[in-house]
Amino acid sequence: MSLLELWDKRDEIARNLSGGMKRRLMIARALMHEPQLFILDEPTAGVDVEVRRLMWRFLKMLNEDGKTIILTTHYLEEAESLCDRIAIINHGKIIQDTTKKQLLSLLNVETFIFDLEKPLIAPLPPSDDFVIRVVDSMTLEVECEKSKKLNDLFSYLNNNHLAVTSMRNRVNRLEELFVRLTTDKK
């Protein structure tokens, strides 16, 4: 109970607990029997961000301890963060069932977010190699095919006198892939 931050509520009646605490209690009850397999249906639905992150840490810990977890979720960032293997279901049919790495390899584009050192003051020239979106004067979102070299992207930025302070991959890559796969199957 302490791992799920429920110890302070141990004397409370379950029906009086919040939704997030009830979800944590559900998992704590399942743990009492020390199962090797957990089947969880939307374990973080309707909980706040703090509880969701607590649950994620806890599920990762269980998995590291050798437990198998089958998880259904509509939160694709959750699946991308927690799962080693992912099945995508569309209209009751499994349309993909593979490792996360193999699934994400189906994306033929990579999206990067660049934070700029100085505000962008003029429009950028078009590029044949990259799709560039100005998020705001200090942020660019650049989409490029995986076959393109990052050096080419950095050359483009440098040739346009743009200094970058940070770069990161766009999150929710799985969401992009899900939309593409389910749209193609209709």
Tell me the pLDDT of the chain (186 aa) as tens digits: 666 777 787 778 878 887 778 877 777 787 788 889 989 888 888 778 887 888 888 889 989 999 999 999 988 888 888 899 999 999 999 999 999 889 888 877 888 999 999 999 888 998 888 889 999 999 999 988 877 788 888 999 999 999 999 999 876 678 888 888 888 655
Domain definitions of the chain by residue range: 7-72, 109-184
Nearest Cα to Cα of residue 160 among 115, 112, 125, 111: 125
The CA-to-CA distance between both ends of the chain, in Å, stands at 45
Distance CA 120, CA 162 (A): 8
Topology of domain 109-184, CATH: Alpha-Beta Plaits (3.30.70)
Calculate the CA 20 to chain-centre distance: 20
Distance CA 134, CA 55 (A): 35
Is this structure's pTM higher than 0.85?
Answer: no
Topology of domain 7-72, CATH: Rossmann fold (3.40.50)
109-184 shares the fold of 7-72: no
